[in-house]
């Protein structure tokens, strides 16, 4: 008992709370959000997205008891949100978060362990843009931007970071002594050494404070950067790419340059498997170069020959 008391006093072990109330869906979602805010493996952006989704769910479902949640209730929620003008993809995300909270409460024994029924929602008119720009196209597009949009794009094209990791940077995230920036994303924090020319772009903003690195005039800076890139691409007549396209471009640049895949993954915050499967784009030139580099078709310094090679002899 003394050991437990010491751990509680030091903050390493939390005192077990009495069984929390989940009388309403508002209670359940509040408890789940509180647990997400305590997680060290979630980025601030993820918690912000969860909070936004829960806010809408509470507005329509908050006074209901968990026992009242069923197919008809969820379909009514979908219809009401569509009536408010919410995008189908937004509602889809809200239902996913609601299901995450529901599973957590069931696993914790706070509500009966039953699955929520699936609710269909038709998502139309959205096509993911998987285009990876060439460094030359990216440079032309970024040169057409200005202000905060240009600085954000330059950091994205250098670090391969997620757009939320860059737009949410604080002044204390850049170390002026080592020129390293700490990027905080959904896989945790990681450090990226900034090249001197890129560090020079932010040097006058670094003061060690927790103030934002960027002077955004919008609450959705990621969308602003995305739109700025799209407009610049259209003006130049190059294929439109997104901030995530710059992330794929950085992965390609590192792999083509011979950077060890584990090192590349540590810089971009990927697992090696995810980076190679979803971000590395293999071209026909890559395949030709691989065959040549590996010396395929040549064993022991001699070209492999067969009967066909002597047919005309």
Three-class secondary structure assignment of 239-290:
CCCCHHHHHHHHHHHHHHCCCCHHHHHHHHCCCHHHHHHHHCCCCHHHHHHH
| Residue 156: closest CA among 208, 218, 235, 222 | 222
pLDDT at 186: 74
pLDDT-derived band at 282 (thresholds 50, 70, 90) equals low
Do 127 and 236 meet the contact criterion of CB atoms below 8 Å apart? no
Q: CB 60: neighbour CB atoms within 10 A?
A: 17
pTM of the full predicted structure? 0.61
Coil, strand or helix at 208: coil
The confidence score (pLDDT) of residue 129 equals 75
Which residue has 């949009």 as its token pair? Answer: 149
Residue 99: which of 149, 67, 156, 54 has the closest Cα? 54
Place of tokens 């030709």: 288
Domain with CATH 1.10.443.10 in the chain: 135-285
Cβ–Cβ under 8 Å, residues 176 and 169 = no
Question: In which residue ranges of the chain is CATH 1.10.150.130 found?
Answer: 15-107
From the candidate CATH numbers 1.10.443.10, 3.20.20.150, 1.20.120.1200, 3.40.50.1820, the one assigned to the domain spanning 135-285: 1.10.443.10
Query: Residues 111-132: pLDDT tens digits?
Result: 998 999 999 888 765 566 789 9
Domain 15-107 has CATH 3.40.190.10: no
**What are the distances in angstroms from CA 282 to CA 48, 132, 148, 243?**
35, 11, 33, 20
pLDDT above 90 as % of the chain: 56
- What local confidence, expressed as pLDDT, does residue 213 receive? 97
Residue 226 has pLDDT above 60, yes or no: yes
Q: Is pLDDT above 90 for 181? A: yes
- 24: tokens are 């309403």
Are 81 and 94 within 8 A, CB to CB?
yes
Tell how strand 174-175 and strand 180-185 pair up.
antiparallel
| Cα distance between residue 183 and residue 164, in whole Å | 10
Residue 166's region, left for phi above 0, alpha for psi from -120 to 50, else beta, is alpha
> CA nearest 98: which of 80, 115, 123, 122?
115
Nearest to 230 by CA among 117, 147, 153, 122: 153
Is 4's pLDDT higher than 50?
no
pLDDT score at 1: 47
Q: Is the pLDDT of residue 278 over 90?
A: no
Q: Please write the tens of the pLDDT for every residue from 12-29.
A: 545 555 557 789 999 999
């Amino acid at each position: 008992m003394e050991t437990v008391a010491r751990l509680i006093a030091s903050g390493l072990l939390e005192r077990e709370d009495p069984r929390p109330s989940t009388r309403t869906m508002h209670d359940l979602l509040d408890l789940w959000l509180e647990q997400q805010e305590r997680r060290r493996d979630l980025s601030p952006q993820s918690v912000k997205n969860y909070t936004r989704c829960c806010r809408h769910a509470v507005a329509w479902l908050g006074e209901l008891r968990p026992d009242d949640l069923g197919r008809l209730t969820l379909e009514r929620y979908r219809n009401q949100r569509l009536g408010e003008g919410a995008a189908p993809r937004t509602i889809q995300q809200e239902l996913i978060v609601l299901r995450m909270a529901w599973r957590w409460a069931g696993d914790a024994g706070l509500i009966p362990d039953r699955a929520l029924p699936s609710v269909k929602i038709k998502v139309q008119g959205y096509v993911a843009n998987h285009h990876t720009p060439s460094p030359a196209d990216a440079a032309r597009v970024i040169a057409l931007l200005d202000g905060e949009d240009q600085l954000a794009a330059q950091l994205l094209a250098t670090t391969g970071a997620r757009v939320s990791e860059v737009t949410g940077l604080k002044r204390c995230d850049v170390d002026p002594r080592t020129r390293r920036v700490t990027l905080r994303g959904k896989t945790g924090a990681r450090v990226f050494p900034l090249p001197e020319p890129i560090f020079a772009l932010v040097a006058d903003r670094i003061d060690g404070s927790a103030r934002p690195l960027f002077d955004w005039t919008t609450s959705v800076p990621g969308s602003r950067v995305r739109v700025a890139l799209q407009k610049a691409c259209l003006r130049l007549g190059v294929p439109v790419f997104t901030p995530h396209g710059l992330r794929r471009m950085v992965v390609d640049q590192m792999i083509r340059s011979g950077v060890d895949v584990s090192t590349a993954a540590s810089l971009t915050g990927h697992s090696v498997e995810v980076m190679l499967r979803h971000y590395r784009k293999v071209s026909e030139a890559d395949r030709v170069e691989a065959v040549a580099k590996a010396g395929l078709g040549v064993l022991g310094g001699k070209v492999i020959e067969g009967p066909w090679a002597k047919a005309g002899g």
